[in-house]
Each structure stands twice: as structure tokens, then as C-alpha cells.
Amino acid sequence: MSGARVSARGWGWRYSGRRASAVSDLTLQIEPGERVLLLGASGAGKSTVLQALAGVLGGDDEGDQRGELLVDGRNPADARGIAGLVLQDPDSQVVLARVGDDVAFGCENLSLPRDEIWRRVGNALDAVGLRVPFEQSTSTLSGGQKQRLALAGVLAMQPKLVLLDEPTANLDPAGVTEVRDAVARTVAQSGATLIVIEHRVAVWRDLVDRVIVLDPAGGVLADGSPDAVLTEQGRNLADAGVWVPEFPPATPQRTRWMESQVLLQGSALGVGRRKGVTVASGIDVTVASGRALAVSGLNGSGKSTLALTLAGLIKPHGGDVAAFPALAAGAGSEPARWKSRELLTRIGTVFQDPEHQFLSSTVRGELSIGPRAMRLPESEVDDRVDALLERLRLTALSKANPFTLSGGEKRRLSVATILAARPSVLVLDEPTFGQDSRTWRELVALLAELLDEGNAVVAVTHDREFINALADHELVLA
């Protein structure tokens, strides 16, 4: 099998209800079997290009198209089965209730023989390192495990065009290597064309033979071999927000509090239940003012569940979480018993999936919810919202529906909604997912300022640069 050919001529796409185009004036050609790393600042239209090539634009995503985009000389919508797409949000790709059935779904739609389907399912799950029973419920998987599941479903189909949108963003370091190597083996064996979006260039640099950088203003900013693009144009690309290993973003200087107070304490915590067994137990953790705690570890080790437990959103399966007077301020010592209004100014939570917390039809409306619930004067609400829109590069999107944003923009918005309320403790699950180097720098700087003011941060993350920049302590779950 050979790979698919991709060509674009003056192609563009504007989502319905948006004034500006997500992509415009895109002209390029990708030959069969080429391996391409697609880069660009957050919001440059990278995900839109991949969805268009997979033939899924124009269905639920209404909009206007210009120019020509072809896969093997055909409209992508008429060439389905040629391309396999892994989306930014793995939850959106889980179709069936059991792991094996979910991986088999694409193969079944290709009308493959039953024995061939289940051979491919086993091989694909093994390739991506998701070693769980076929009958395990997909609802029990962590976010990182669901990413592996989505990739396994695509690899099992053996498409001519493999499209990957941030496939390793929520994976632990071992998982990143395992998934990258699985992709490398697959495209080497099949000759498939590969287009992968990943902000962290170093992961894929040695695997790809071409780098294409999209210009947010339209067209292509750079195109060539990895060395030619990243070495010769590295400084300019870094200034434009592209992650270039040789030009990392600046990190803020922290002013660490000497008189830190304990705000939350977890003692002998047990979190998560899987088939009646606690996922992680015996966890002791302290959250203090002016301090950042990073929670890291393998996918499926209970990190996100621990975060939700500390945030008072679920009860522990063992041990207890106690809020100290400096945080509780008369609300009681058990955060899980607090009312939503009591949580609002005390503990703010950013979920792993940003869409799970959107409530408004506009970006500005979303940022206003917390301050208005605190009954702040409208002038102060506007000041807080305007400042966050500006710093996190969301001003031009203030009237957009949050669900139409790119993955990186959604993540910034979800973090900004908590920053707008300024709670004493911020619990963040993968806060830097999908960020270009400029927006990463701004997010880290904002959090550093809050820490210097005496707030506390708990961050579930695999982002080693984030940990090095902010964390005072790191808790590694086995």
C-alpha cells in the first residue's frame, strides 16, 4: 500500500458565525509517503486543516469553504476510509462501551473479515501500549489511555493518510515514546502519508522529513526539511509562537513566600475505583499558600481523580481532605460538603477536558460567570475580563462561541475562567495542553503572579517545562 497525495490550492475555511477565517489561502502539495510535522501558533488553523482532510468539516461544523483541497485527487468527503484522524480531544472519539469494540469500529465500517479485524485490534492495542482486556469499559480509562485508544483505532484501519492532532499531549513520558514509535513502525510498514500536529517539536523532529508552518494571517509561513526550517528560521518561528527547542520561552522569576500557610491537607487518601479496587491509596499531600504542587505519574495512576478529590468535587475512597481555617473561613473543614458558592472563591478547578466546564455562548460571557456569581460591580467584572482576554490572546474571539475555538484556545479560556474568580487554590488538570510558546509563557506568568500574591496551585501535568518553571514540590503517583 502506498500513501495518499494531499494538495491544496487557495483553500480556506470560515466557521459559521465567525468573521475571520480559520484558514485562508493555503496552497501546498504533500506527496505519498511523506511524513509532515504541521506547526503554527495556537489558532493558526492546524486542527481545521486535519479535520478537512479527514472529510469531517461541513457536517456538524457549518461554514464556508474557498479554493480546493484534495486527497488522492478527490474531495476528502468522498474519500473517506483513506484517512484516519486522531482528534485533540480523545473523549470525542470514544464510540463504544468496550475497549476492543471501540478499536474494531473503524475496521468494521471497512467491512473487513472478522478474524482480520480482531487480529488488527490486538496488534494495534499492543503497539500503542494500551494493555487492557478487550472487554474493559472505555469509561474507566484515563484521559491519556483514551488517547492511546483513539490512536489504536486509527492504526487498526491501516489508512493511507494518518492524521494526528496532538497525539501525545496527555501522555506520560514513557507513553510519548511508545506512541511515537508505534506511529513510526506503522507508517514505515504501510508507506502511509503522515501529518502530525504537535507543539513540542522535539518528539517528532527525527521521524518527519518535512515541516510546514501555518501563518495565522493565511498561507504558509515556512516549509522545508526539519533542519532547514527549525535551524535557519528558528528565531523568527519562536517569536511567532512555534516551539523551537533551541529557543525556549522565558520563564518568570518567582518571589517565594517565606510565611506560607497550609490551606488543604490530604491524609492517607485513597482515590479512584476500578473494578472495586482503589486506584491509588496512602497519599499524603499538603497544599500551601504561595506554593505550587505538581502531580505527575503514569497514565491511569489516579492523578486527575486526586485533583478532583482535593478540589472538593468528589469524596475520597479512603482517608480525608481537610481545609484549614485560612482557606475554610467558616465554611467547614470538608471541601466536599461545601456549596458551590463557597467553593467559588476558595477552590477553582480546571478539568482535563475544557468543554466540560463551558456554560456561556460567548467567550466574554464565559469569563464573566465567576465574577458575576461573586456579585462584583459590573465595572470590575469588565476590568477582569478585558485583562484576561488581552493577556491570553483571546480578545479577537470575545464574541465567539467557546465550542468553536481551537483546542489551545479552549484550554486558555478554561484556565482564564478560574483566574477571573481568583480563588485561593487553583486545581488545574493539564493547564498547558495545546499552547504555543507565547501563550504557554503568558499562562505560566499569570500563575506565577497568583503564587506570588499568596494563592496556591495544584497542577496535574506531564509538562516538564511547566514543572521546572513553577513547581515548589512534585508528587509522583506510581
pLDDT in tens, 58-83: 655 678 899 999 999 999 988 777 99
- What does the pLDDT read at residue 461? 94
Q: How confident is the model at residue 1 (pLDDT cuts 50, 70, 90)?
A: low
Question: Is the pLDDT score of 417 beyond 90?
Answer: yes
- CATH superfamily for domain 6-239: P-loop containing nucleotide triphosphate hydrolases (3.40.50.300)
CB atoms within 10 A of CB 381: 20
Q: How many H helices and E strands in the chain?
A: 15, 17
Phi and psi at 414, nearest 5°, equal -65, -40
Question: Is the pLDDT score of 445 beyond 90?
Answer: yes
pLDDT in tens, 145-194: 888 898 889 889 889 999 999 888 778 888 888 888 888 888 888 899 99
Q: How confident is the model at residue 122 (pLDDT cuts 50, 70, 90)?
A: very high
- What does the pLDDT read at residue 274? 63
Q: Which helix (H) or strand (E) holds 13?
A: strand 6-15
- What does the pLDDT read at residue 28? 95
Q: Domain 262-477, what architecture? A: 3-Layer(aba) Sandwich (3.40)
Q: Where in the chain is the domain with CATH 3.40.50.300?
A: 6-239, 262-477
SS3 429: strand
Smallest CA-to-CA distance from 49 within 74, 26, 67 is with 26
- What does the pLDDT read at residue 275? 61
Supply the DSSP symbol for 91: G
pLDDT in tens, 335-392: 999 998 899 889 999 998 888 889 999 999 999 999 999 999 999 999 999 999 999 9
